[in-house]
Amino acid sequence: MIRQAVGRSADPESYLSDQQPRQIQFPNHRSAAEHAAFVTAEVAKGVQSGVMAEWRSEWGPPTVVNGLRVVSGKKLRLCMNPMYVNQFMDVPALKYESVKDMPGYLRRGSFMFTTDDKSGYWNLQLHPSMYPYAAFEWQGRVLYWPVLAFGFAPACWTYSLLKQELFRPLRECGVDLSYLKDDCLAAAESRPAAQYLCRAVVRLLTALGFTLSLDKCQLRPAQPVRFLGFVVDTEAEAFEVPPDKVETLAAQWATRLLSSPARGFS
């Protein structure tokens, strides 16, 4: 990666042995060129919404110009690739929550609701000292992320720690909830209590500047809700794999079996 940016004669170890990153510009991944119209549109939207900004000439050149890449999936996603910068970052240990923690507080018949933060990382502003390491180039323009960009090694830790402190007072008041990054599930013993709690949590999040993806939230308390890839059913006291995931997995296995060469018995 380093040789690709500065030439094959460069010694990559010399770029990794310093205390701080050296000045370097990485090329964009070929996927960015393959989806150039998408990248241009995403950059325009990013600048308009304030999650991207033009690099200011009075600052001098950025230390690291990171490469862009487009990740394909259910939809295209524009990502920055700060692999070089990540080599100089510490990622403290943090125990992340999961569905296995939920039987400790869920009761039979509890009513639950879920929230999902929209573009969660973008809710966190970067310190200006990080700007020189959060730059990228597109079509001759140098821009940077003034917010926490997806790709930085401590991003998940930082966001999770923020949510941990946000939910701490609720838990100290006896609220039952679980969260993982931008997803949250909370529960109460009755529907009215869950409705009241849901309103309080939504108001708290929005007051603190978070935006919710309403199409991914389940704000009407129910006994089966979808959370972290499972259906959590307090009436049946079960965690279930959603039917659509089972169908997708079955289709993938069928495709793999059909594409594999037939083997006879030896």
User: Could you tell me if 115 and 75 lie in one domain?
Assistant: no
Render pLDDT for 104-115 as a digit per residue (tens, 0 to 9): 889 999 999 999
> Does one domain contain both 140 and 41?
yes
Specify the number of domains making up the chain: 2
Q: 114 and 199: one domain?
A: yes
Average confidence (pLDDT) over 34-39: 95
| Residue range 1-30, pLDDT digits in tens | 665 555 565 666 666 667 788 889 999 999
Same-domain check for residues 53 and 177:
no
Three-state secondary structure of 143-209:
EECCECCCCCCCHHHHHHHHHHHHHHHHHHCCCEEEEECCEEEEEECCHHHHHHHHHHHHHHHHHCC
The C-alpha atoms of residue 1 and residue 174 are separated, in whole angstroms, by 50
**How confident is the model at residue 17, as a pLDDT?**
67
Boundaries of domain holding 107: 99-120+155-236
In a domain? residue 245: no
Give tens-digit pLDDT for 179-196: 998 899 999 999 999 999
Read off the DSSP letter of residue 140.
T
